[in-house]
Copies of this chain bind each other. A is one copy, B any other.
Amino acid sequence: MLCLSCGVQYKKVDAGTCRECYEEASETKEELKREIEDLKAKVAFLRLWNPVDPKFPNTYTDLLLYAVSDSGDTSIYTLTAAVAAHRAVLICRSPVFKAMLENEMEESKTCTIKIHDVSYDVLRTFVKYLYTAEVLLDEEMACNLLVLAEKYQVKHLKAFCEKFMTSKVNRENAIVSYVFAHQHGAKQLIETALSLIVDNMGVLTQRDEYKELVEKDPRLVVEIYEAYLTRALNTAT
């Protein structure tokens, strides 16, 4: 028979679907593609301007964000250049900013938010994401943004960074990723890293980061061994 999709002859044993199902599936595919186009247009419409783009200098911002480098003494710190933003947008994107800005907190009174322990570059990227849902990630940026997204409860960004980091887990970074994921409640990343660790127990338990983890957080190591045991028992049965 001739396959209606690829146009190649096939034998009875390699048969897939009837003509009706093939036609239905083609229609469904076209419908899904149209839905994707519609959603892409909606995203383009809803996307705000890039607030750190110098082409948009004058958009009536009413708030400044600063990245703060802490020294040991918490009363001494250095501010970077400011990133200007809109209260209304921040309130909409993050329940933490909402609480901060809608109540009579210092941030609301001074129209200033200080973000600790991030670089200016990460802050800019974070604010840009809040406006555009766009970011070009590398592993370091994903890690930094996930921390910020968790702190300010920007779920969409956290999920995006976690997905990216999950795609980058390998034998080399599995333990570090696993620890990081635990610290920030990134379930998908925990699972992927744990599975990779269990696959490579012999090698990874020789590593320095394993030994450090035993010292610093032995409960996490117990979890690893429990997962290892579960798999061993399942394989046995």
| A→B interface (CB under 8 Å) | 1-6, 8, 10, 12, 14-23, 25, 28-29, 32-33, 35-36, 39-49, 58-62, 86-89, 91-93, 102, 133, 156, 159
Contact in complex: A3, B28 (CB < 8 Å): no
Contacts of A16 in B (CB 8 A): 3-5, 16-23
Which of A23, A32, A46, A61 has the largest count of B CB atoms less than 10 A from its CB? A46
Q: How many whole Å from A208's CB to the nearest CB in chain B?
A: 37
- Classify the interface of chain A: helix, strand, loop or mixed: helix
Contacts of A42 in B (CB 8 A): 39, 43, 133, 156
CB < 8 Å neighbour of A59 from B5, B12, B40, B88: B88
Known: A40-B39, A47-B46, A62-B60. A18 touches B14 (CB 8 A): yes
Q: Report how far A99 CA is from B61 CA in the complex, Å.
A: 18
Contacts of A29 in B (CB 8 A): 25, 28-29, 32
Given A59-B87, A59-B91, 4 more pairs with CB closer than 8 A: A5-B16, A16-B22, A29-B29, A48-B88
CB < 8 Å neighbour of A36 from B18, B35, B45, B58: B35
Q: Report how far A47 CA is from B5 CA in the complex, Å.
A: 39
Q: How many whole Å from A28's CB to the nearest CB in chain B?
A: 7
Write 26 A-B pairs (CB below 8 A) sorted by A numbering.
A1-B12, A2-B15, A3-B17, A5-B16, A5-B17, A6-B17, A6-B18, A15-B18, A15-B19, A16-B16, A16-B17, A25-B25, A29-B32, A36-B39, A42-B43, A43-B43, A45-B133, A46-B46, A46-B48, A48-B92, A49-B92, A59-B87, A60-B62, A61-B88, A62-B62, A86-B86
